[in-house]
Amino acid sequence: MSDITATPPPMKLRKKRGRILGNSGLILAGTVLGLITLMAIFAPFIAPYDPYLQTLDDRLIPPAFIDAEMADPRYLLGTDNLGRDYLSRLIYGARISLLIGLLTMLVSGVIGTVLGVAAGYFGGRVDTVVSFLITTRLSLPVVMVALAVVAVAGGSLQVVVLVLGLLLWDRFAVVMRSATMQLRNLEYVAAAQAVGCSTPRILVGEILPNLIPALVVVASYEMAQAILLEAALSFLGLGVQPPLPSWGLMVAEAKEVMLFDPWVILLPGLAICVLVLAINMLGDGIRDVTAPEGRS
């Protein structure tokens, strides 16, 4: 119905701001993610203790809200079974999760977008080859391959990022391919060709900007996926290696005492959950806000 009116230009910014403020999910997710990011960046200043410092006398002290009698005011969220401050480890753990999420997303995003856009824009043989690559990739079970590679190459942050990055590009490729195919047939691409734009210029100037909403959604999904996979790999002992304070690793370390002290597994689990949820909600929200107005 938006055809009815032609809004004068100055409305633009005010409208966009209104759309951001009107989207409560976006605000909430943005705030949570912002806090987690700040926490990760300023971890050395925020964390009360060195996350690696073991105080073997203070093992498994519960936080106050779990057991007020056993709690120790020095350890706000208690300590793990090696006597390390749990709050500090959680704060430093955000660094690992965000780093792995972002890097994996970048690696897989670049691979998937390049392949998908090329396939969608050029079609023909390029499309056949890319489609074959996508099908091949989809036939690989991600967790199994990741486990196998990490088992052979050894677990480290670099290896995890590389393995996940090389495994998670399929969704980027599939979505970018079909989105590009649609855009390719639009008349503004033909107009740009007629104007004499080179192919790279069309891809960067006309196609890519219109892929951003889809890209943001896939990127947020893949980042969340990478964080979850890292947690799973670390849980299985094949991700980042101890004593790095990864949330997945913390869950793994907690499983031995899980039956007696369930909060040890609950806190990192909750952290993963909140982070993943916030990222997904942010992706959805950004898509809603950045989608161009007009005919939908």
Q: Which of 31, 56, 70, 201 binds another protein (CB under 8 A)?
A: 201
Minimum CB separation of residue 205 from another protein in Å reads: 8
Among residues 56, 70, 129, 186, the one that binds another protein under rule CB under 8 A: 186
- 55 DSSP assignment: -
AA identity, residue 120: G
17 near another protein, rule: CB under 8 A: no
Asked whether position 57 contacts another protein by CB under 8 A, the answer is no
Give the bridge partners for 79, in sequence order.
85
- Regarding 194 and contact with another protein (CB under 8 A), the answer is yes
Contacting range for another protein; rule: CB under 8 A; set: 115-123, 161-169, 205-213, 219-227: 205-213
Residue 128 sits in the site that holds another protein (CB under 8 A): no
Considering only 80, 85, 206, 230, the residue that binds another protein (CB under 8 A) is 206
Q: Is 294 in the site for another protein (CB under 8 A)?
A: yes
**Residue 87 vs 176, nearer CB to another protein:** 176
How many residues of this chain interact with another protein, rule: CB under 8 A? 33
Q: Which stretch binds another protein (CB under 8 A): 69-77, 105-113, 121-129, 183-191?
A: 183-191
Q: What is the spatial distance between Cα 116 and Cα 131, in angstroms, rounded to a whole number?
A: 9
3: contact with another protein by CB under 8 A: yes
Residue by residue, DSSP assigns 90-156 as HHHHHHHHHHHHHHHHHHHHHHHHHHHHHHHHH-HHHHHHHHHHHHHHHTS-HHHHHHHHHHHH---
Per CB under 8 A, contacts with another protein among 208-237 are 209-210
CA 239, 244, 248, 252 torsion: positive or negative? positive
Whole-Å CA distances, 200 to 117, 187, 207, 266: 11, 17, 10, 49
73 binds another protein (CB under 8 A): no
Residues 21-40, one symbol each (x = binds another protein by CB under 8 A, - = not), give: -x------------------
16 forms part of the interface with another protein (CB under 8 A): no
Instruction: Say if CB 31 and CB 290 are below 8 A apart.
Output: no
Tokens of residue 96, six digits: 């690992």
H-state helical runs in the chain = 11-21, 24-41, 43-46, 86-122, 124-138, 142-153, 157-167, 170-184, 187-195, 199-202, 208-235, 247-254, 263-290
By the rule CB under 8 A, 125 interacts with another protein? no
Coil, helix or strand at residue 79: strand
Query: What would the two tokens of residue 201 be?
Result: 């210029």
How far is C-alpha 288 from the geometric centre of its chain's CA atoms?
18
Choosing from 188, 204, 262, 273, the residue that interacts with another protein (CB under 8 A) is: 188
Cβ 12 to another protein shortest distance, Å = 7
8 lies in the binding site for another protein (CB under 8 A): yes
Contacting residue, 105, 192, 219, 223, with another protein by CB under 8 A: 192
Binding site for another protein (CB under 8 A): 1-9, 11-12, 22, 186-188, 190-198, 201, 205-206, 209-210, 292-295
